Amino acid sequence: MARIKFEAVGKRYPNGYVALDNLDLDIADKEFLVLLGPSGCGKSTTLNMIAGLEDVSEGMLYFDNEAMNAVPPHKRDVSMVFQSYALYPHKTVYENIAFGLRMRKHPAVEIDYRVRDAARRLEIEALLERRPDQLSGGQRQRVALGRAMVRQPLAFLMDEPLSNLDAALRISMRAEIKQMHQAMQTTFVYVTHDQAEALTLADRIVVMRGGVVQQIGTPDAIYERPGNMFVASFLGNPPINFLEGAIATEGETVLFKRGPLEIRLPPHIAEKVAGDAGRTVVLGLRAEDIDAHGERRRRETLQGRIVSVLPVGSDQFLKVTVEGVELFFRVGKEVQHREGENLSLAVNLNRLHLFDKQSGHSLVW
């Protein structure tokens, strides 16, 4: 069992800097939880508190209802995988993986079995006699994972473990980490600033900013129903488009208006803002939620001019000026677009987002 619970946990330094503020978080046993956010948001501080590398300034941290605040790192039974791999350069792969078990005085036969089993599962059996300087970055990362695996800990803690790898290798390593979690059925807590990693790996994502949790939810919930503009903008490639405007009504119809631009709001949004005519709001529209072949003028159609065309494999990104704002959209390559071309973009009304201009909070979810 490895349920990890934060109750009103904070981390404050003597100089007054608040790295983490009033964190309430309940990580279920066997869950894969990803802490996501930009540098300095508090995600690594949170991970280090679980490991015991950072003290809890206020609040309580529990493992399976046992208070951990005063428990030293070596008694917490967690394994940590770092961005830097932290391998011993003078030791072989075998010795690096076995090191933690030897320090804990496990029998030699058990150590050998665990090391070779981990090496087999990570496909590094042929590398056991090599040293770290004879390995590629991906191979070193597998060794670091193997060293964590053999411990059979209550929880795995991973701090941006793939950030030093090239893009193709990151994708394959994500799959291996996912398989590792499914096979080991152990709690994983994973820190990253990479939205693709979070969306691929997580059972739940915790989005953080400035030491404060912004939203907690499944990958689908976080992406489809962002609670505020920060969360909406942090997930998505290209980032979500924002258009500032105001609520307006025409009879029973509720509109988003920006100058001559009018977009009819769908019923699930309209019912929540129908009484807010004149309110300043921000419309959120993801890059994929349009049809670039709209031909007739409708209230749910954007008229724009293409500023640039960016091919990206099977798709293309269009940078389009709409009512003085540059927006990015992702479309297929079946139709070739040109810079300077005027374009009608039919909006998928069911996928609109709407935020309060002042607070940034969603008016929909």
Assess whether 144 and 248 both reside in one domain: no
- Closest CA relative to residue 354, chosen from 260, 191, 193, 226: 226
Tell me the torsion sign for CA atoms 29, 32, 37, 43.
Answer: positive
- Closest CA relative to residue 139, chosen from 63, 87, 197, 100: 87
pLDDT at 201: 96
The token pair that represents 204 in the structure block: 């739940």
pLDDT at 122: 83
pLDDT at 299: 53
Assess whether 19 and 120 both reside in one domain: yes
Give the single-character DSSP code of 360.
-
Instruction: Name the domain count of the chain.
Output: 2
Assess whether 270 and 129 both reside in one domain: no
Final residue of a domain: which of 201, 234, 267? 234
Final residue of a domain: which of 212, 234, 256? 234
- Sequence-separated contacts (24+) of 172-181 with Cβ below 8 Å: 172/138, 173/138, 173/141, 173/142, 174/200, 174/201, 176/122, 176/142, 176/145, 177/145, 177/201, 178/32, 180/121, 180/145, 180/149, 181/32, 181/156
46 touches 157 (CB < 8 A): no
Using DSSP's 3-state secondary structure scheme, residue 100 falls into helix
20 touches 47 (CB < 8 A): no
pLDDT at 1: 59
Pairwise CA distance, residues 25 & 318, whole Å: 40
Give pLDDT < 70 ranges for the chain: 1, 293-299
Pairwise CA distance, residues 293 & 82, whole Å: 47
- Residue 67: give its domain's CATH number: 3.40.50.300
- Closest CA relative to residue 337, chosen from 318, 324, 323: 318
Assess whether 157 and 253 both reside in one domain: no
Assess whether 287 and 346 both reside in one domain: yes
Pairwise CA distance, residues 156 & 301, whole Å: 48
Crossing angle for the helix pair 137-149 and 167-184, to the nearest 10 degrees: 10
pLDDT at 294: 54
- Residue 289: give its domain's CATH number: 2.40.50.140
Residue showing tokens 């709209």: 294
Look up the domain containing 59 and give its range: 4-234
- Closest CA relative to residue 284, chosen from 244, 325, 237: 244
pLDDT at 104: 86
Q: Is residue 364 part of a domain?
A: no
Assess whether 215 and 328 both reside in one domain: no
Q: Is residue 50 part of a domain?
A: yes
Using DSSP's 3-state secondary structure scheme, residue 289 falls into coil
pTM: 0.90
pLDDT at 296: 46
The token pair that represents 112 in the structure block: 């050998």
Q: Is residue 178 part of a domain?
A: yes
Residue 266: count of CB within 10 angstroms of its CB: 16
pLDDT at 302: 86
> Residue 119: in which H helix or E strand, if any?
helix 108-121
Residue 36: count of CB within 10 angstroms of its CB: 28
